[in-house]
Chains A and B, each alone.
Chain A
């Protein structure tokens, strides 16, 4: 014992600082990335750093944010959900399907009262989530494969309901939350912030949240401690589907239309937000704080690239490179922690 303390006191300040950094790499790296991007775009474009643009960025990441909230639960349990974008798309289309559409829209839809349409839409994403959870926890299909199948099923539901058409009307409540503002603040930003806050509280302060981290950290150990790990993983998958569904409905209002393949980019964005933020793909480490960082990095990057004069075809490549960098850091953060630990 005293040998260790002696060693610790002998180690110099710089090596201790390095170890501190290594332990917190997961949080420090995305924060530095964010600061760097903000600084870069501020210098590169006069129109970037303004209050108005800040609201733009927040509004632009809100749909991703709501999806990423649910995905954070799933990734923390060391599983993955590839069906989020498809579930979002399907739910958005379901809510439009049960809403009275303009005569020009040629869909055999079933107009219902707005509240009922919303309930049915939520029920459908809940059902999709339960099917995923059943497949993963009861049948034992790896989540990667199971959610890949659900992605296709979600896309199939979209295709069947709209048959290549575009629907425009959604219930009034959805229109308000998705595209209106309250005292200058877009409702969709409010919803995203509430979702992030609620998820943070659940993950940090509730028993279920603790189980999510423990199951992700070491699933077998959690089981052997008498935790129903299958239930925890299943719940995370259902939460993910519900978040995706809400994002899907609001997204339809935000975009102003409901159609096939409209959320395709959101799968990558949501996963990127969670992972770029520093939540471990191996489970058990990270959280909503990291997801917020990741969302801001992505939002600033997407928005900033529009402000600087850059080949728009190059943007896709740049986003890919940023994501790759984040993945490298994610894996290294794990390794650095391990190394720092061995040193003492």
Chain B
């Protein structure tokens, strides 16, 4: 153990309205150490971190900061005690400059009481330089790549003098080079003697960067273990889900065999599709019953491609054919009628949290089940069927969508397209932020859709997702298709190397 723990938690419990979020958790965080936290969604990691960061103030148990028993009343208290948190959703202000963001809420002032811009720019440049970041501190943060934004936010937390830094899913939006840079920075900070908590779904990342790892399951801490070569992904998964993970493991690592295009007819064909500056001259085809994976780093043009496929963006050039008929998709309703289904990357962008499940499902098929009048009974009946067949955990079709867990919400979004089968299903980041079990369910649903003759396009920046779902994979880089893997097998390394 490298020294006294900077923070010690003893017997921490927390419940929300009778539901236990944490039970009797002990955890010690030492200086000069990176502590990885893993567990499925809802296992209690984030709740624990929010207790440490002063967001949740009402909990059972004892918290000691540098040996002294402490109880924060607010996140400001925590910050003053040297504890900073970088949340999954960045809290930077996109329209403000890098320097302003670094000094947000604590701008240096000169004698006249005005903001001292020179000092601010110099300070920000110096601080970010220490993080290995060389950017113009006067550019608005919103104009920078997301990885740089993350580093800017990290910079702000460091600047506030944090000795203990909590990072919640910091790498989910980063490209591998950006992740590398973040890891370098974290290692340097550790060597400076700071204590870092690293929460992630990416087990490789956890194993690479952490000195110690703790596994959470069902609101309890299962184990804390020093990271060693003997500790591998399988070991972690086993403890996270409490079951033999060999069969799960298979679909996420190693070389994955590709089925190839097969002989079925082409359902969607793009030729020379262009939309400057996002993507150029994309030509590809999707066959019935086939899943085409589109892999590339953030910003490679996938997002724009998916929008063009669903009529949200009119491509500047090229042609799109569905069932060999040329289509022009001016809006999403036209795309839906042409047989395209779409599941965007964020759940908020596709679901109505305030509405019951059945309305969330029926929205895409109202045109087919009702000419003028809505038919709630029919909608509820359809929804009940989907709840059963997709094993969505919900009390019934009337349940408010927002009351479901993330994985179940994703299933509702997929259920929407199951009643009247589309020709092509466009999935963006279908499993981002999901736990292992929910991922498996989504993969299963997509597989059954393929069996019914639907062409699927999976776009993702996570190689695991593309590998787990695709029969054929194209790799995009800077708006162009640079490689296609159609036969034999492909591994994560090969994908990363191609992108």
A interface residues with partner B (beta carbon < 8 Å): 1, 3-4, 6-8, 10-11, 205-207, 209-211, 213-214, 217-218, 220-231, 284-285, 341-344
A-B contacts counted at CB < 8 A amount to: 100
Give the one of B335, B337, B350, B402 with max A CB within 10 A: B350
Chain A CB within 8 A of B331 CB: yes
- Among candidates A7, A206, A213, A231, residue contacting B372 with C-beta atoms closer than 8 Å: A206
Residue pair B17, A225 in contact (C-beta under 8 Å): no
- Interface pick from B61-69, B90-98, B247-255, B341-349: B341-349
Least distance between B414 CB and chain A CB atoms (Å): 12
B interface residues with partner A (beta carbon < 8 Å): 16-20, 310, 312, 331-337, 341-344, 348-355, 359, 363-364, 366-367, 370-374, 393, 400, 402-403, 416
Question: Which residues of B sit under 8 angstroms from A209, Cβ to Cβ?
Answer: 374
- Among candidates B19, B348, B363, residue contacting A214 with C-beta atoms closer than 8 Å: B363
In the complex the two chains form, what is the Cα distance from A213 to B363 in whole Å? 11
Question: Which residues of A sit under 8 angstroms from B349, Cβ to Cβ?
Answer: 220-221, 224
Residue pair B344, A224 in contact (C-beta under 8 Å): yes
Question: Which residues of B sit under 8 angstroms from A221, Cβ to Cβ?
Answer: 348-352
A205-B364 in contact given A3-B20, A7-B18 (Cβ < 8 Å): no
A207-B350 in contact given A4-B19, A228-B333 (Cβ < 8 Å): no
Question: Which residues of A sit under 8 angstroms from B16, Cβ to Cβ?
Answer: 342, 344
- Among candidates A4, A228, A343, residue contacting B331 with C-beta atoms closer than 8 Å: A228
Residue pair A284, B17 in contact (C-beta under 8 Å): no
Question: Which residues of A sit under 8 angstroms from B351, Cβ to Cβ?
Answer: 218, 221
- Among candidates B17, B352, B367, residue contacting A218 with C-beta atoms closer than 8 Å: B352
Question: Which residues of A sit under 8 angstroms from B310, Cβ to Cβ?
Answer: 224
Least distance between A344 CB and chain B CB atoms (Å): 4
Residue pair A226, B336 in contact (C-beta under 8 Å): yes
Q: Which residue of A lies closest to B346 (CB)?
A: A220
Least distance between A333 CB and chain B CB atoms (Å): 13
Least distance between A234 CB and chain B CB atoms (Å): 12
In the complex the two chains form, what is the Cα distance from A259 to B265 in whole Å? 68
Least distance between A29 CB and chain B CB atoms (Å): 19
Give the one of B17, B342, B349, B400 with max A CB within 10 A: B17
In the complex the two chains form, what is the Cα distance from A6 to B18 in whole Å? 8
Residue pair B364, A7 in contact (C-beta under 8 Å): no
Question: Which residues of B sit under 8 angstroms from A4, Cβ to Cβ?
Answer: 17-19
Interchain residue pairs with CB less than 8 A apart (22): A3-B20, A7-B17, A8-B18, A11-B17, A205-B374, A206-B374, A207-B372, A214-B352, A214-B363, A217-B352, A224-B310, A224-B344, A224-B350, A225-B364, A225-B416, A226-B332, A226-B333, A226-B336, A227-B332, A228-B331, A228-B334, A343-B17
Residue pair B359, A226 in contact (C-beta under 8 Å): no
Residue pair A224, B373 in contact (C-beta under 8 Å): no
